Every structure is written in C-alpha cells, then in structure tokens.
Structure 1
Amino acid sequence: MSHPRTRALSDVLDQLESSVEGESVKVETVIAKLGHRSFASLMLVFSLISASPASAIPGITATVAAIVFILVVQMIAGRDCVWLPDFVTRREMSRAKLCKGIGWLRGPVRFTERFLKTRLTFFFHRPWLWLPLILILGLTLFMPFMEIIPTSGSIASAVIALFAAGLLTRDGIVVLASMLLLLAVPLAAWQFGFSG
C-alpha cells in the first residue's frame, strides 16, 4: 500500500480543480482552497500552472514568478502563514485554460507520484533548506524576461514545481534533482534564446 504522501500532488490538483467556478478564478480563491499555511502546495500549484498549457495566458509567467518570489521570501523568514499583495490575489485566470492545464498535468503528476517517497529529509531543515530556496529566489528574478524566449518560462516553472513536489512529499532526492536543474535553467534559456 502506497504512503499517503505519494498522493499529495494529485490531491493538490483535486483541490485546485474544486476551486474553479464560473468563467474565471481569482488567485485568492486558490489560496483559500489550499490553505494559508500551505507554502509548498501553493508553490506547486502556481508553478504547475505556468508549466502547463495555461502558460499561454499573457503575463502568467511573470505573475507566477512574483507569487513564488513572495512565498520563498516568507519561507526563508520562517513565516507560518502565507501573505500575498492585493494586486496578485485579485488576478483572475481563465476557467477554460486553467481546467485544460489541470487535465494536461494529471498524467505527468500520476507518473511522477510512482517514484516519490520520504528520503534524505535533512534537506527540509535549516540551513540546508535555504540553499534551494535561494536558488529559486534567483530564478524568479529572471522568469519575467523568459516570456520572450519560447518555452523557457515553462521549463523554469517545471523545475520549481519539482522542488515543491519534493518539499510536499519530503523526498530529498527530488529536491536535490531540482537544485541541479535550477542551476542549469538560466544557461539553457540563454543558449536556446541566442542559438541559430
């Protein structure tokens, strides 16, 4: 029988899908649904949205970068409760594009969950946890500029989602993998943008 944590990612998608009502959904509705203490869940949801076809929504990469930046700063500071400014929480996302993104994500999420388990848990204690958080903080500063390079913002968001998945399931191997990829993303985006 699988550990309950291995269903954590699908559970987050279920919660996100249940928050969608009407033609659009506000960021504050998503936060209320996932809980004001769920830093990892919120980071996972918004980075997955930016990595999915929903990233076609104009400005979504920059918005997600701002949200993740604010979340990470609060995690480093040791806050217990999530705070986001009004200009972020009032932003709306298209219901159709969001649901399409959720549907697209379910396959990869289910596949990933097969390999997740609790291990190398020292990564989730300070000061070790600060290292990936600082790397993510740096990456979010570049993400708004990645909108001009096709798919690079989605790749960066996918790496952040990988870290959040590791954090949510306490899988240190996944956190370690995300750290290595975080270091590679800016270089890969630069080379992709200026090749040819």
Structure 2
Amino acid sequence: MAQVKSHALSEVLDELENSATGDTTAVSEVIDAMGRRSFASIMLIFSLVSSSPVSAIPGMTAFVGTVIFFIVIQMLAGRNSLWLPQFITRRTISTEKLRKAITWLRKPVRSVERFLKSRLTFLFHRPYIWLPLLLIMALTLCMPFLEFIPGSGSIASIVIALFAAGLLTRDGALVIVSLVALLAVPLAIWQIGF
C-alpha cells in the first residue's frame, strides 16, 4: 500500500509561510504559492487558518466559508484548475498575524501527521467523493451564521481541515473521521451557544 509523505501537511504550512511576505499577504499570493490545481492544499490552508486564533478576526469565518464553497463547487464540477472571484483574491491579511497562526498550527499538524497513511482510497473516486463534498458544501453555507456564536466557526473549520488533510494525503479513514465530526458539529455549537 502506498504511503503518503510523512510531512505532507507541514510542507503545506511551509509553502504558506514562504508566500507570506511584506506587511500583508493577499489571497491570490497564497493560491499561487499552493498551485491552482491543488484544491486539497488550498482548502487545507484556509480551513487551518480559520481554526487558529486568526478566526477571531470579524468576518473571517464567513470569508473562509465562501472560499471553501467555491472550491467544493469546482471540485464537484470536475474542474482541473481553481478560479476564485476578485473580491476573494484581493482580500489581504496581516502577514504578522498569518505567521503567528502558522506557528500556532505546527504542533497540532505534526501530531496528526504521525497517523496518516494512504488507505480506503476508493472514497476519493466518484461517486463516493460526492457525499463528503456535498456535506462540506452544506457546512460552508452555515458558516456565515456561525460568526454570531464564538468558537463555532473554529469547530466547523477543524472539520473541513480534517477532510482536506484526508484528501491531500489520500487517507480515507481521516475523511470518515471528518464526516463523523461533521455530524457532531450541531451538538457542539448548541453546547457553545446555549
């Protein structure tokens, strides 16, 4: 059975860090650094950043939900290269905040990497991949409303990050974990909000 690169997720963070130059970093710079064909890497980056302390920035959860929605729609359509509208690609974030988020993310990412391997890869083929993609898309539609419940946006982003990590590393078991976690999201948000 083929093994994934043991540091695949850390390498994505490295690429993100390399793209973070100047006082601010634009979404277009991040996407160009990841490569427009790497849907999984781009999805992982945005969901990881949104699950870090950066998620406290007003509008960040809704923005990331919008980005992931566009990614999923194009994956369902079978596109080979990602396109995002200018109102997304022109958006910038403080490079200092982005680098702090990357530093914060490295430890949990390293912990997850130890358990990743290529398995249950049939889940990444049609029609099986459609179910998780549709569920993630439904979650992104809820994310703007999660802005009003502190911490709930991070929970949703973690679920998406788990799915993206599974997609990137061809680990079907992690995709299943993300779907189980997705089912728990409403309960977790209920507990936080009430």
Instruction: Measure the CA separation in 2 of the matches of 1:8 and 1:98.
Output: 20
Task: Answer whether contact 2:4 2:169 (CA < 8 A) is retained.
Answer: no
How far the C-alpha of 1:88 sits from its partner, in A, is 0.2
Task: Give the residue type in structure 2 aligned to 1:45.
Answer: I
Task: Answer whether contact 2:15 2:33 (CA < 8 A) is retained.
Answer: yes
Instruction: Measure the CA separation in 1 of the matches of 2:111 and 2:10.
Output: 11
TM-score by length of 2: 0.96
1:25 counterpart SS class: strand
How far the C-alpha of 1:188 sits from its partner, in A, is 2.2
Whether 1:154 and 2:151 are equivalent positions in the alignment is no
1:11 counterpart SS class: helix
Identity, % of aligned pairs?
A: 63
* Comparing 2-11 and 56-65, the one that deviates more: 2-11
Task: Answer whether contact 1:25 1:93 (CA < 8 A) is retained.
Answer: yes
Instruction: Measure the CA separation in 1 of the matches of 2:147 and 2:36.
Output: 29
Task: Answer whether contact 2:4 2:170 (CA < 8 A) is retained.
Answer: no
The answer for the alignment partner of 1:169 in structure 2 is: 169
1:5 counterpart SS class: coil
How far the C-alpha of 1:56 sits from its partner, in A, is 2.0
Task: Give the residue type in structure 1 aligned to 2:35.
Answer: G
The answer for the alignment partner of 1:105 in structure 2 is: 105
* Structure 2, unpaired ranges of 5+: none
Deviations 1:86-110 (A, max 9, x none): 0000000111111110000000001
Deviations 1:57-98 (A, max 9, x none): 221111100000000000000000000000000000111111
The answer for the alignment partner of 1:119 in structure 2 is: 119
Pairs within 5 Å for 1:26-175: 26-175=26-175
Task: Answer whether contact 1:117 1:170 (CA < 8 A) is retained.
Answer: yes
* Structure 1, unpaired ranges of 5+: none
Instruction: Measure the CA separation in 1 of the matches of 2:54 and 2:18.
Output: 17
Moved over 6 A (4+): none
Instruction: Measure the CA separation in 2 of the matches of 1:143 and 1:110.
Output: 27
Q: How many residues align?
A: 193
Instruction: Measure the CA separation in 1 of the matches of 2:120 and 2:6.
Output: 16
Instruction: Measure the CA separation in 1 of the matches of 2:70 and 2:173.
Output: 25
Task: Give the residue type in structure 1 aligned to 2:87.
Answer: F
Instruction: Measure the CA separation in 2 of the matches of 1:3 and 1:126.
Output: 22
Aligned residues: CA RMSD: 1.2
Instruction: Measure the CA separation in 1 of the matches of 2:4 and 2:126.
Output: 25
* Comparing 2-11 and 142-151, the one that deviates more: 2-11
How far the C-alpha of 1:5 sits from its partner, in A, is 2.3
The answer for the alignment partner of 1:9 in structure 2 is: 9
